[in-house]
Amino acid sequence: MNYNKNFYPIKSNEEIFEKLVDEKKDIGYYKLPYQHTSDIKEYAKTVTQKDIVVVGIGGSSLGTYAIHNFLIHKQNGKKLHFLESTDPLDIKRRVSKIDLNDALFIIISKSGTTIETVSIFKYLHSLTTIDKTNCVCITEHDSKLNSYAKTNDIKTFEIPKDVGGRFSVFSPVGLLPLAIMGIDIDELLNGCKEVNNSFFEKRDYYTHIMNKARFLVENKNRFNINVLFSYSSLLEGFNKWYIQLWGESLGKINFNGTRQALTPIGILGPVDQHSFLQLVMEGVRDKTVTFVKVEEFGEDTTIPDISIPSLEELDYVNGIKFKDLINMQADSTIKAVEELGDIPCDVITIDKVDEFNIAKLMYSFQVLTSTVGKFVQIDTYDQPGVEIGKIILKNKLKKGE
Protein backbone atom coordinates (compact mmCIF):
# COMPACT_ATOMS: atom_id res chain seq x y z
CA MET A 1 0.00 0.00 0.00
CA ASN A 2 1.13 3.50 -0.87
CA TYR A 3 0.02 6.99 0.04
CA ASN A 4 0.30 8.87 -3.22
CA LYS A 5 -1.06 12.18 -2.08
CA ASN A 6 -1.00 13.34 1.46
CA PHE A 7 -3.61 15.89 0.58
CA TYR A 8 -4.05 18.03 3.64
CA PRO A 9 -1.37 17.38 6.17
CA ILE A 10 -1.46 19.84 9.05
CA LYS A 11 2.21 20.44 9.53
CA SER A 12 4.02 20.55 12.84
CA ASN A 13 4.72 23.95 14.33
CA GLU A 14 8.40 23.39 13.60
CA GLU A 15 7.74 22.71 9.91
CA ILE A 16 5.60 25.85 9.66
CA PHE A 17 8.28 27.87 11.37
CA GLU A 18 10.89 26.61 8.90
CA LYS A 19 8.66 27.61 6.01
CA LEU A 20 8.26 31.09 7.48
CA VAL A 21 12.01 31.44 7.94
CA ASP A 22 12.31 30.35 4.35
CA GLU A 23 9.80 32.87 2.97
CA LYS A 24 11.64 35.76 4.64
CA LYS A 25 13.94 35.74 1.62
CA ASP A 26 11.10 36.50 -0.78
CA ILE A 27 8.53 38.39 1.25
CA GLY A 28 9.58 41.97 1.77
CA TYR A 29 7.55 43.01 4.78
CA TYR A 30 9.81 41.08 7.14
CA LYS A 31 12.68 43.40 6.13
CA LEU A 32 10.82 46.67 6.61
CA PRO A 33 11.55 47.01 10.36
CA TYR A 34 15.24 47.33 9.52
CA GLN A 35 15.00 49.92 6.73
CA HIS A 36 16.69 53.33 6.82
CA THR A 37 14.28 56.15 7.40
CA SER A 38 16.48 59.23 7.02
CA ASP A 39 15.27 59.98 3.48
CA ILE A 40 11.63 59.90 4.64
CA LYS A 41 12.31 62.02 7.72
CA GLU A 42 14.31 64.56 5.71
CA TYR A 43 11.51 64.92 3.19
CA ALA A 44 8.88 65.17 5.93
CA LYS A 45 10.75 68.09 7.50
CA THR A 46 10.55 70.08 4.27
CA VAL A 47 6.77 69.85 4.00
CA THR A 48 5.18 73.22 4.69
CA GLN A 49 1.63 72.55 3.57
CA LYS A 50 -1.20 72.33 6.06
CA ASP A 51 -3.42 69.82 4.25
CA ILE A 52 -1.87 66.44 3.55
CA VAL A 53 -3.87 64.46 1.00
CA VAL A 54 -3.34 60.72 0.62
CA VAL A 55 -4.65 59.60 -2.78
CA GLY A 56 -4.66 55.81 -2.63
CA ILE A 57 -7.06 52.93 -2.01
CA GLY A 58 -7.01 49.67 -0.03
CA GLY A 59 -3.50 48.78 1.07
CA SER A 60 -2.34 52.25 0.04
CA SER A 61 -4.44 53.97 2.69
CA LEU A 62 -5.85 51.59 5.31
CA GLY A 63 -2.67 51.15 7.35
CA THR A 64 -1.93 54.86 7.40
CA TYR A 65 -5.51 55.55 8.44
CA ALA A 66 -5.28 52.95 11.21
CA ILE A 67 -2.18 54.51 12.79
CA HIS A 68 -3.37 58.08 12.20
CA ASN A 69 -6.69 57.20 13.83
CA PHE A 70 -5.00 55.60 16.86
CA LEU A 71 -2.51 58.44 17.42
CA ILE A 72 -4.79 61.30 16.37
CA HIS A 73 -4.19 63.27 19.56
CA LYS A 74 -0.39 63.06 19.18
CA GLN A 75 -0.01 64.81 15.84
CA ASN A 76 1.13 68.22 14.70
CA GLY A 77 -1.34 70.81 13.41
CA LYS A 78 -1.57 69.41 9.89
CA LYS A 79 -4.74 67.78 8.59
CA LEU A 80 -4.66 64.37 6.92
CA HIS A 81 -7.21 63.69 4.17
CA PHE A 82 -7.92 60.49 2.30
CA LEU A 83 -9.26 60.35 -1.25
CA GLU A 84 -10.06 56.85 -2.38
CA SER A 85 -13.70 56.18 -3.24
CA THR A 86 -15.15 57.02 -6.65
CA ASP A 87 -18.43 58.03 -5.00
CA PRO A 88 -19.04 61.48 -6.55
CA LEU A 89 -20.72 62.99 -3.49
CA ASP A 90 -17.99 61.65 -1.25
CA ILE A 91 -15.23 63.07 -3.46
CA LYS A 92 -16.94 66.46 -3.62
CA ARG A 93 -17.33 66.64 0.13
CA ARG A 94 -13.80 65.56 0.91
CA VAL A 95 -12.22 67.89 -1.66
CA SER A 96 -14.27 70.81 -0.32
CA LYS A 97 -12.47 70.42 3.01
CA ILE A 98 -9.00 70.75 1.43
CA ASP A 99 -7.30 74.08 0.87
CA LEU A 100 -6.03 73.23 -2.61
CA ASN A 101 -3.49 76.06 -2.45
CA ASP A 102 -1.97 74.75 0.75
CA ALA A 103 -2.04 71.02 0.11
CA LEU A 104 0.49 68.27 -0.49
CA PHE A 105 -0.82 65.42 -2.65
CA ILE A 106 0.66 62.01 -1.89
CA ILE A 107 -0.19 59.71 -4.78
CA ILE A 108 0.13 56.08 -3.74
CA SER A 109 -0.26 53.12 -6.06
CA LYS A 110 1.94 50.06 -6.11
CA SER A 111 1.13 49.17 -9.71
CA GLY A 112 0.92 52.83 -10.65
CA THR A 113 -2.27 52.26 -12.62
CA THR A 114 -4.98 51.82 -9.96
CA ILE A 115 -8.13 53.08 -11.63
CA GLU A 116 -9.62 54.87 -8.61
CA THR A 117 -6.33 56.61 -7.79
CA VAL A 118 -5.58 57.74 -11.33
CA SER A 119 -9.17 58.93 -11.88
CA ILE A 120 -9.03 61.07 -8.74
CA PHE A 121 -5.54 62.26 -9.69
CA LYS A 122 -6.90 63.44 -13.05
CA TYR A 123 -9.75 65.21 -11.28
CA LEU A 124 -7.29 66.98 -8.97
CA HIS A 125 -5.33 68.09 -12.05
CA SER A 126 -8.43 69.88 -13.24
CA LEU A 127 -8.77 71.74 -9.93
CA THR A 128 -5.22 72.92 -9.32
CA THR A 129 -1.71 72.86 -10.72
CA ILE A 130 0.11 69.73 -9.63
CA ASP A 131 3.88 69.72 -9.82
CA LYS A 132 6.97 68.98 -7.80
CA THR A 133 6.08 71.66 -5.26
CA ASN A 134 2.88 69.99 -4.07
CA CYS A 135 3.10 66.35 -5.09
CA VAL A 136 5.01 63.22 -4.11
CA CYS A 137 4.52 59.70 -5.44
CA ILE A 138 4.89 56.34 -3.71
CA THR A 139 5.01 53.44 -6.14
CA GLU A 140 7.06 50.56 -7.52
CA HIS A 141 10.37 51.26 -9.19
CA ASP A 142 9.29 50.40 -12.72
CA SER A 143 5.68 51.62 -12.65
CA LYS A 144 4.10 54.13 -15.00
CA LEU A 145 3.48 56.41 -12.03
CA ASN A 146 7.21 56.41 -11.37
CA SER A 147 7.90 57.39 -14.99
CA TYR A 148 5.38 60.21 -14.65
CA ALA A 149 7.09 61.43 -11.50
CA LYS A 150 10.59 61.21 -12.98
CA THR A 151 9.51 63.14 -16.09
CA ASN A 152 8.06 65.90 -13.93
CA ASP A 153 10.90 65.96 -11.42
CA ILE A 154 8.47 64.89 -8.69
CA LYS A 155 9.97 63.20 -5.65
CA THR A 156 9.17 59.49 -5.37
CA PHE A 157 9.48 56.90 -2.66
CA GLU A 158 9.63 53.28 -3.59
CA ILE A 159 7.40 50.37 -2.59
CA PRO A 160 9.66 47.33 -2.77
CA LYS A 161 8.43 44.81 -5.35
CA ASP A 162 8.19 42.08 -2.72
CA VAL A 163 5.95 44.08 -0.38
CA GLY A 164 2.23 43.64 -1.07
CA GLY A 165 -0.30 46.42 -0.51
CA ARG A 166 -1.86 45.04 2.68
CA PHE A 167 1.60 44.40 4.14
CA SER A 168 2.95 47.83 3.17
CA VAL A 169 2.03 50.06 6.10
CA PHE A 170 5.60 50.02 7.43
CA SER A 171 7.05 50.87 4.00
CA PRO A 172 7.04 54.48 2.74
CA VAL A 173 3.32 53.94 1.98
CA GLY A 174 2.57 54.48 5.64
CA LEU A 175 5.77 55.98 6.97
CA LEU A 176 5.87 59.02 4.69
CA PRO A 177 2.41 60.48 5.42
CA LEU A 178 2.74 59.54 9.09
CA ALA A 179 6.17 61.20 9.39
CA ILE A 180 4.71 64.34 7.83
CA MET A 181 1.95 64.28 10.47
CA GLY A 182 4.54 64.23 13.23
CA ILE A 183 4.45 60.54 14.08
CA ASP A 184 7.73 59.03 15.31
CA ILE A 185 8.29 56.47 12.56
CA ASP A 186 11.43 55.05 14.14
CA GLU A 187 9.36 54.10 17.16
CA LEU A 188 6.92 52.39 14.81
CA LEU A 189 9.78 50.34 13.39
CA ASN A 190 11.07 49.59 16.88
CA GLY A 191 7.70 48.04 17.65
CA CYS A 192 7.91 45.92 14.48
CA LYS A 193 11.46 44.84 15.34
CA GLU A 194 10.47 43.67 18.77
CA VAL A 195 7.79 41.39 17.35
CA ASN A 196 9.93 40.20 14.44
CA ASN A 197 12.91 39.40 16.61
CA SER A 198 10.84 37.76 19.30
CA PHE A 199 9.03 35.57 16.78
CA PHE A 200 12.04 34.47 14.79
CA GLU A 201 14.12 33.94 17.92
CA LYS A 202 11.28 31.76 19.20
CA ARG A 203 10.52 33.85 22.23
CA ASP A 204 7.12 35.16 23.48
CA TYR A 205 5.58 36.19 20.18
CA TYR A 206 6.49 32.83 18.67
CA THR A 207 4.50 31.02 21.33
CA HIS A 208 1.48 33.34 21.19
CA ILE A 209 1.26 33.50 17.41
CA MET A 210 1.97 29.84 16.71
CA ASN A 211 -0.55 28.62 19.27
CA LYS A 212 -3.22 31.00 18.11
CA ALA A 213 -2.69 30.22 14.42
CA ARG A 214 -2.82 26.50 15.10
CA PHE A 215 -6.01 26.78 17.11
CA LEU A 216 -7.73 28.89 14.44
CA VAL A 217 -6.72 26.49 11.67
CA GLU A 218 -7.64 23.31 13.49
CA ASN A 219 -11.07 24.77 14.30
CA LYS A 220 -11.66 26.72 11.10
CA ASN A 221 -14.69 24.74 10.01
CA ARG A 222 -16.40 25.05 13.35
CA PHE A 223 -15.43 28.68 14.00
CA ASN A 224 -15.31 30.28 10.57
CA ILE A 225 -15.68 33.86 11.86
CA ASN A 226 -13.02 35.76 13.80
CA VAL A 227 -14.33 38.76 15.68
CA LEU A 228 -11.92 41.48 16.75
CA PHE A 229 -13.59 43.34 19.63
CA SER A 230 -11.54 46.49 20.21
CA TYR A 231 -12.29 48.53 23.31
CA SER A 232 -11.33 51.97 22.04
CA SER A 233 -12.75 54.19 19.32
CA LEU A 234 -9.13 54.85 18.37
CA LEU A 235 -8.92 51.31 17.01
CA GLU A 236 -11.65 51.79 14.41
CA GLY A 237 -9.02 52.15 11.68
CA PHE A 238 -7.07 49.19 13.01
CA ASN A 239 -10.21 47.06 12.74
CA LYS A 240 -10.64 48.02 9.09
CA TRP A 241 -6.99 47.31 8.35
CA TYR A 242 -7.32 43.91 10.05
CA ILE A 243 -10.34 43.06 7.91
CA GLN A 244 -8.37 43.67 4.73
CA LEU A 245 -5.30 41.83 6.00
CA TRP A 246 -7.19 38.79 7.21
CA GLY A 247 -9.84 38.57 4.51
CA GLU A 248 -7.72 39.25 1.46
CA SER A 249 -4.78 37.14 2.66
CA LEU A 250 -6.66 34.07 3.83
CA GLY A 251 -9.70 33.90 1.51
CA LYS A 252 -8.01 31.64 -1.02
CA ILE A 253 -8.06 28.36 -2.86
CA ASN A 254 -5.20 26.31 -1.44
CA PHE A 255 -2.67 24.07 -3.13
CA ASN A 256 -5.15 21.18 -3.20
CA GLY A 257 -7.93 23.22 -4.72
CA THR A 258 -9.76 23.51 -1.40
CA ARG A 259 -11.43 26.83 -0.55
CA GLN A 260 -10.06 28.41 2.59
CA ALA A 261 -11.47 31.27 4.59
CA LEU A 262 -11.47 32.76 7.99
CA THR A 263 -13.91 35.65 7.92
CA PRO A 264 -12.84 38.76 9.84
CA ILE A 265 -15.24 41.06 11.69
CA GLY A 266 -14.22 44.18 13.55
CA ILE A 267 -16.35 45.71 16.27
CA LEU A 268 -15.81 48.44 18.86
CA GLY A 269 -16.51 48.52 22.56
CA PRO A 270 -18.49 49.77 24.32
CA VAL A 271 -20.60 50.91 21.35
CA ASP A 272 -21.07 47.45 19.87
CA GLN A 273 -22.12 46.01 23.22
CA HIS A 274 -25.36 47.65 22.06
CA SER A 275 -25.19 45.94 18.67
CA PHE A 276 -23.16 42.84 17.82
CA LEU A 277 -22.66 41.49 21.34
CA GLN A 278 -26.10 39.86 21.53
CA LEU A 279 -25.19 37.78 18.46
CA VAL A 280 -21.90 36.70 20.04
CA MET A 281 -23.55 35.77 23.32
CA GLU A 282 -26.60 33.85 22.15
CA GLY A 283 -26.03 33.11 18.48
CA VAL A 284 -24.63 30.01 16.82
CA ARG A 285 -21.15 29.13 18.08
CA ASP A 286 -19.36 29.96 14.84
CA LYS A 287 -17.13 32.77 16.14
CA THR A 288 -13.85 33.22 17.97
CA VAL A 289 -13.41 36.55 19.74
CA THR A 290 -10.20 38.49 20.23
CA PHE A 291 -10.54 41.38 22.65
CA VAL A 292 -8.15 44.32 22.34
CA LYS A 293 -7.82 46.61 25.36
CA VAL A 294 -5.80 49.75 26.02
CA GLU A 295 -4.17 49.56 29.45
CA GLU A 296 -3.31 53.26 29.76
CA PHE A 297 -5.09 55.88 27.65
CA GLY A 298 -3.02 58.68 29.19
CA GLU A 299 -6.16 60.76 29.61
CA ASP A 300 -7.63 61.20 33.07
CA THR A 301 -11.01 62.77 32.32
CA THR A 302 -13.28 61.78 35.18
CA ILE A 303 -17.01 61.42 35.51
CA PRO A 304 -17.74 64.32 37.85
CA ASP A 305 -19.23 63.83 41.27
CA ILE A 306 -22.54 65.27 40.19
CA SER A 307 -25.84 63.83 41.30
CA ILE A 308 -28.52 64.55 38.71
CA PRO A 309 -31.96 64.67 40.36
CA SER A 310 -34.03 61.61 39.34
CA LEU A 311 -30.92 59.89 37.96
CA GLU A 312 -29.31 59.28 41.36
CA GLU A 313 -29.34 55.52 40.87
CA LEU A 314 -26.36 55.95 38.56
CA ASP A 315 -24.29 57.86 41.10
CA TYR A 316 -22.10 54.78 41.47
CA VAL A 317 -20.17 55.99 38.39
CA ASN A 318 -19.30 59.30 40.07
CA GLY A 319 -15.60 59.97 40.40
CA ILE A 320 -14.65 57.14 38.04
CA LYS A 321 -12.21 57.95 35.27
CA PHE A 322 -13.55 57.24 31.79
CA LYS A 323 -10.43 55.19 31.08
CA ASP A 324 -11.28 52.95 34.02
CA LEU A 325 -14.93 52.75 33.05
CA ILE A 326 -14.18 51.58 29.51
CA ASN A 327 -11.73 48.97 30.80
CA MET A 328 -14.25 47.75 33.36
CA GLN A 329 -16.75 47.48 30.53
CA ALA A 330 -14.22 45.44 28.56
CA ASP A 331 -13.45 43.21 31.54
CA SER A 332 -17.15 42.66 32.22
CA THR A 333 -17.80 41.64 28.63
CA ILE A 334 -14.75 39.38 28.63
CA LYS A 335 -15.94 37.73 31.83
CA ALA A 336 -19.46 37.30 30.45
CA VAL A 337 -18.09 35.63 27.31
CA GLU A 338 -15.66 33.44 29.26
CA GLU A 339 -18.39 32.28 31.59
CA LEU A 340 -20.32 30.88 28.66
CA GLY A 341 -17.45 28.45 28.28
CA ASP A 342 -17.95 27.60 24.62
CA ILE A 343 -16.69 30.70 22.80
CA PRO A 344 -12.92 30.62 22.19
CA CYS A 345 -11.56 34.02 23.12
CA ASP A 346 -8.26 35.72 23.83
CA VAL A 347 -7.32 39.16 25.11
CA ILE A 348 -4.61 41.47 23.79
CA THR A 349 -3.68 44.40 26.01
CA ILE A 350 -1.94 47.42 24.53
CA ASP A 351 0.19 49.12 27.18
CA LYS A 352 -0.03 52.68 25.92
CA VAL A 353 -1.41 54.81 23.09
CA ASP A 354 1.87 55.32 21.28
CA GLU A 355 3.79 54.43 18.14
CA PHE A 356 5.64 51.50 19.65
CA ASN A 357 2.48 49.75 20.78
CA ILE A 358 0.32 50.19 17.68
CA ALA A 359 3.21 48.91 15.56
CA LYS A 360 3.61 45.85 17.76
CA LEU A 361 -0.09 45.14 17.46
CA MET A 362 -0.18 45.52 13.68
CA TYR A 363 3.06 43.71 12.98
CA SER A 364 2.01 40.78 15.15
CA PHE A 365 -1.21 40.48 13.15
CA GLN A 366 0.84 40.41 9.96
CA VAL A 367 2.96 37.55 11.29
CA LEU A 368 -0.15 35.77 12.55
CA THR A 369 -1.67 36.08 9.07
CA SER A 370 1.48 34.68 7.46
CA THR A 371 1.51 31.81 9.93
CA VAL A 372 -2.12 30.87 9.32
CA GLY A 373 -1.44 31.11 5.58
CA LYS A 374 1.33 28.56 5.88
CA PHE A 375 -0.85 26.18 7.89
CA VAL A 376 -3.64 26.23 5.31
CA GLN A 377 -1.12 26.10 2.46
CA ILE A 378 -2.17 29.08 0.41
CA ASP A 379 -0.33 31.99 -1.15
CA THR A 380 -0.97 34.58 1.55
CA TYR A 381 0.32 37.44 -0.58
CA ASP A 382 -1.65 37.40 -3.82
CA GLN A 383 -5.30 38.28 -4.59
CA PRO A 384 -6.23 36.55 -7.85
CA GLY A 385 -9.96 36.63 -7.07
CA VAL A 386 -10.33 40.35 -7.66
CA GLU A 387 -8.95 40.32 -11.21
CA ILE A 388 -12.12 39.08 -12.95
CA GLY A 389 -14.11 42.13 -11.90
CA LYS A 390 -11.32 44.45 -13.00
CA ILE A 391 -11.24 42.89 -16.46
CA ILE A 392 -15.03 43.15 -16.81
CA LEU A 393 -14.82 46.82 -15.81
CA LYS A 394 -12.02 47.60 -18.24
CA ASN A 395 -13.96 46.01 -21.08
CA LYS A 396 -17.09 47.97 -20.15
CA LEU A 397 -15.13 51.22 -20.07
CA LYS A 398 -13.29 50.58 -23.31
CA LYS A 399 -16.51 49.69 -25.06
CA GLY A 400 -18.00 52.88 -23.64
CA GLU A 401 -21.02 51.09 -22.23
Question: CB-side exposure of 76: number of CA atoms within 13 Å?
Answer: 17
Please identify which residue in 29, 199, 205, 276 interacts with its own copies, judged by CB under 8 A.
Answer: 276
How many C-beta atoms lie closer than 10 Å to residue 140's C-beta?
18
User: By CB under 8 A, is residue 397 in contact with its own copies?
Assistant: yes
Least distance from C-beta 35 to its own copies, angstroms?
Answer: 24
Least distance from C-beta 227 to its own copies, angstroms?
Answer: 9
Catalytic site residue 335?
Answer: no
Q: Cα separation of 186 and 135, whole Å?
A: 24
Beta bridge partners of 83: 55
Catalytic site residue 390?
Answer: yes
- Residue 377 main-chain phi, psi, to 5 deg: 60, 55
CB closer to its own copies, 5 vs 398? 398
Please identify which residue in 44, 234, 343, 359 interacts with its own copies, judged by CB under 8 A.
Answer: 234
Q: Cα separation of 45 and 269, whole Å?
A: 37
Q: Cα separation of 347 and 289, whole Å?
A: 9
User: By CB under 8 A, is residue 111 in contact with its own copies?
Assistant: no
| Residues 180-219, mask of contacts with its own copies (x by CB under 8 A) | ----------------------------------------
Please identify which residue in 51, 248, 354, 355 interacts with its own copies, judged by CB under 8 A.
Answer: 248
Please identify which residue in 90, 99, 201, 204 interacts with its own copies, judged by CB under 8 A.
Answer: 90
User: By CB under 8 A, is residue 222 in contact with its own copies?
Assistant: no
Q: Stretches 2-10, 43-51, 57-65, 195-203: which one binds its own copies (CB under 8 A)? A: 57-65
**Residues 302 to 341 in contact with its own copies, rule: CB under 8 A:** 303-304, 306, 308-311, 313-314, 316-318, 320-323, 325-326, 328-329, 331-333, 335-336, 339
Q: Identify whether the C-beta of residue 188 lies closer than 8 Å to the C-beta of residue 355.
A: yes
Q: Cα separation of 153 and 308, whole Å?
A: 64
Q: Cα separation of 52 and 180, whole Å?
A: 8
User: By CB under 8 A, is residue 27 in contact with its own copies?
Assistant: no
Please identify which residue in 116, 162, 184, 346 interacts with its own copies, judged by CB under 8 A.
Answer: 116
* Rg (alpha carbons) of the chain, rounded to whole number: 23
Please identify which residue in 250, 289, 350, 367 interacts with its own copies, judged by CB under 8 A.
Answer: 250
C-alpha torsion sign, points 292, 166, 261, 25: negative
Q: Cα separation of 81 and 53, whole Å?
A: 5
Given the residues 84, 194, 236, 248, select the one marked as catalytic.
Answer: 248
Q: How many residues bind its own copies (CB under 8 A)?
A: 120
Q: 293-332 as b/e, with b when 16 or more CB fall inside 10 Å?
A: bbeebeeeeeeeeeeeeeeeeeeeeeeeeebeebbeebee
Counted residue by residue, the chain has a size of 401
Catalytic site residue 81?
Answer: no
Secondary structure (DSSP) of 252-315: EE-TTS-EE--EEEEEETTGGGGTTHHHHHHS-S-EEEEEEEEEE-S---B--S---TT-GGGG
Q: Roughly what angle, to the nearest 10 degrees, separates helices 355-375 and 13-23?
A: 110
Q: Stretches 19-27, 30-38, 197-205, 285-293: which one binds its own copies (CB under 8 A)? A: 285-293
User: By CB under 8 A, is residue 131 in contact with its own copies?
Assistant: no
Q: Stretches 182-190, 198-206, 272-280, 367-375: which one binds its own copies (CB under 8 A)? A: 272-280
Please identify which residue in 30, 33, 63, 84 interacts with its own copies, judged by CB under 8 A.
Answer: 84
Least distance from C-beta 213 to its own copies, angstroms?
Answer: 17
Please identify which residue in 9, 26, 142, 284 interacts with its own copies, judged by CB under 8 A.
Answer: 284
Given the residues 25, 132, 390, 394, select the one marked as catalytic.
Answer: 390
Residues annotated as part of the active site: 248, 274, 390
